[in-house]
Amino acid sequence: MTNTPVTTWYLEQTDPRDLLPAITPDGEVRIVRAEVPSPEFSRCLYASVGGDILWIDRLGWTFAQWQEYLDRPGTETWVVYDRGTPAGYIELAAHEDGVVEIAYFGLIPAFRGRRLGGHLLSYGTARAWDLADRWPGRAPTKRVWVHTCSLDGAHAMDNYQRRGFKLFDTQVEEVTLVTTPGPWPGAYPA
């Protein structure tokens, strides 16, 4: 295996008025919060969305690690459904002092290119801004941030910027790439 340079971009919004909503797609599309923390469902979403873009950092998590993470106050998973089928998700992670991170966001490959991503990002970012309304005792959101990298989908950076996120940092590091993990072996043939 060889090392590959990977660029990571960090973006933020510092005011709810920064959000530039996308057009709502036609059809039977809805976004629902997964209110019952489910390690099985969250791992399924993670592997299905990130399998072809090398999301590997959580693949080794145990059931208990997933449960502990999902049980943290201010952690939310919002799932977009296309005609009743889970198509992708956005995961919000509240931090101290009114900071909310978009920890994960993406679509299952079969649902990309249908204008669901902009809609999900718009909706999820709005939920980051009003997260304190659902979590009594949390500070109101003052900042929403996200990172994306050169391994992510080709339209990720553009989508974030079209939704009003502004770049605040860029880092480059050498990474050893692994074989595409996918949700199961052979899920994404070359």
pLDDT for the residue numbered 188: 63
Q: Is position 188 within any domain?
A: no
For the chain, give the mean pLDDT.
93
Identify the CATH number of the domain in which residue 116 sits. Answer: 3.40.630.30
Q: Domain range for residue 153?
A: 3-176
Over the stretch 115-148, which tens digit does the pLDDT of each residue have?
999 999 999 999 999 999 999 999 999 999 999 9
Residue 183 domain-assigned (yes or no): no
User: What CA–CA distances, in Å, run from 58 to 18, 43, 143, 185?
Assistant: 31, 8, 25, 17
What is the predicted pLDDT for the residue at 53?
A: 86
Sequence-distant (≥ 6) Cβ neighbours of residue 91 within 8 angstroms: 42, 75, 76, 77, 78, 102, 103, 104, 105
Most confident of 1-15, 19-33, 45-59, 170-184: 19-33
Length in residues, the chain? 190
30-83 pLDDT per residue, tens: 999 999 999 999 999 999 999 888 888 898 999 999 999 999 999 999 999 999
Total domains present in the chain: 1
Please tell me the predicted confidence (pLDDT) of residue 89.
98
The verdict on residue 190 lying in a domain is no
